[in-house]
């Protein structure tokens, strides 16, 4: 059944336009006096809430060695199929037998679902609060093992964005 929509006929009052103008300006002036909600990105950075799913990191154990055992659980769980691991026998002979020779994540494919973090039996992979890691080429957005361990060093104290060093804008 068709509905008939009546077009709006402005009244005389509407046609004056002045009251509506004043109403609008009132909102503007009210906000002039309030606290600002925008920030001056990139000079100033937003600190994301706990549990934010940003750039990945590979954790290190107490000896400073990579925690990951290259079990491939994360890459099996990953819906975007963006984790590429080459496993190998570890160079250490005290217990841990296996480690990733290479570990790459294609950040452009990643949908930051956090499944990898959930699947990991070693608590080796985690998503961090880092959200600004854009770059100019696709190749640079494939992060490797060293890059991921580096992210761990930068984020382990949970002060990535309050640390002024990280506030400098990337070249």
Partner 1 sequence: MPLLKIDDLEIEVKNGTTVLEAALENGIDIPYYCYHPALEIVGSCRMCLVQVEGMPKLQVSCNTFVGEVPPERKVDGNFDMVVQTQNDLVIQERKNILEFLLLNHPLDCPVCDQAGECYLQDYSFKFGNAHSRFDEDKRVRPNEYLGSQIVINHNRCILCSRCTRFTREISGTSELFVDERGYSSKIAALEDRPLNNLLAGNVADICPVGALLSTDYVHKNRIWNLQKKSSVCQDCSVGCNIDAFYQKRKIFRLNPRENQDVNGYFMCDIGRYGFHRFEDLERVTRPLFKSNGIFSEISWDTAIEKIGDKFNGAEEKVAGVLSPFHTNETNFMLGRLIKGIIGTFPHIEDEEITYPSGFRISSDRSPNKRGMHDVCPSIVDDLASEINDKEIRVIYILDNEIDKEIDETWNKILTKMDFIVVQAYAMTRLAKSAHLILPGLAPFEREGTITNDQGRVQWLRSVLPNNGESRPDWEILNLLYKTGERFSDINELMKGMGEQFPSYSGMTFFKLGDQGLPLNGNLKT
Helices and strands (H, E) in the chain, number of each type? 5, 5
Binding span for partner 1 by CB under 8 A among 15-23, 36-44, 63-71, 138-146 = 63-71
88 binds, among ligand SF4, partner 1, none (CB under 5 to 8 A by kind): partner 1
106 is a site residue for partner 1 (CB under 8 A): no
Binding-site member from 90, 96, 105, 148 for ligand SF4 (CB under 6 A): 105
| 141 counts as binding ligand SF4 under rule CB under 6 A | no
Separation of alpha carbons 35 and 120, rounded Å: 43
> Structure tokens of 105?
């994540």
Among 31, 98, 138, 158, binds partner 1 (CB under 8 A): 98
**H or E stretch including 103?**
strand 98-106
The answer to the question of residue 148 lying near ligand SF4 (CB under 6 A) is: no
Which H or E element spans position 33?
A: helix 18-33
| Phi-psi label, residue 74: left if phi above 0, alpha if psi -120 to 50, beta otherwise | alpha
Could you tell me which of 153, 133, 144, 141 has the C-alpha nearest to residue 85?
144
Rounded Cα gap, residues 40 and 123, in angstroms: 35
CA distances from 77 to 36, 74, 114, 118 (A): 42, 5, 10, 9
Q: Which does 148 bind (CB under 5 to 8 A by kind): partner 1, ligand SF4, none?
A: none
CB 150 within 8 A of CB 59: no
Of 13-21, 27-35, 96-104, 108-116, which part binds partner 1 (CB under 8 A)?
A: 96-104
Residue 98 touches which of partner 1, ligand SF4, none (Cβ within 5-8 Å per kind) = partner 1
One of 72, 135, 144, 146 touching ligand SF4 (CB under 6 A): 72
Task: Give the binding site for ligand SF4 (CB under 6 A).
Answer: 68-74, 77-80, 82-83, 85, 105, 110-116, 119-120, 122, 124-125
Binding site for partner 1 (CB under 8 A): 69-73, 75-76, 87-89, 96-98, 121-122
């Amino acid at each position: 059944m068709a509905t008939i929509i009546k077009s709006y006929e402005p009244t005389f009052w509407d046609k004056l336009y002045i009251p509506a103008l004043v109403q609008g300006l009132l909102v503007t002036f009210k906000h002039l006096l309030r606290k600002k909600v925008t920030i001056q990105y990139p000079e100033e950075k937003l600190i994301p809430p706990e549990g934010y799913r940003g750039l990945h990191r590979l954790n290190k154990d107490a000896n400073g060695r990579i925690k990951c055992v290259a079990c491939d659980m994360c890459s099996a769980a990953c819906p975007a199929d963006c984790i590429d691991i080459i496993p190998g026998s570890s160079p250490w002979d005290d217990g841990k037998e296996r480690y990733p020779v290479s570990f790459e994540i294609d950040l452009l494919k990643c949908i930051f679902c956090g499944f990898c973090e959930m699947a990991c039996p070693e608590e080796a992979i985690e998503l961090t609060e880092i959200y600004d890691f854009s770059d100019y080429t696709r190749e640079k957005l494939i992060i490797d093992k060293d890059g991921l361990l580096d992210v761990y060093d930068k984020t382990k104290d949970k002060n990535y964005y309050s640390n002024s060093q990280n506030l400098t804008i990337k070249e």
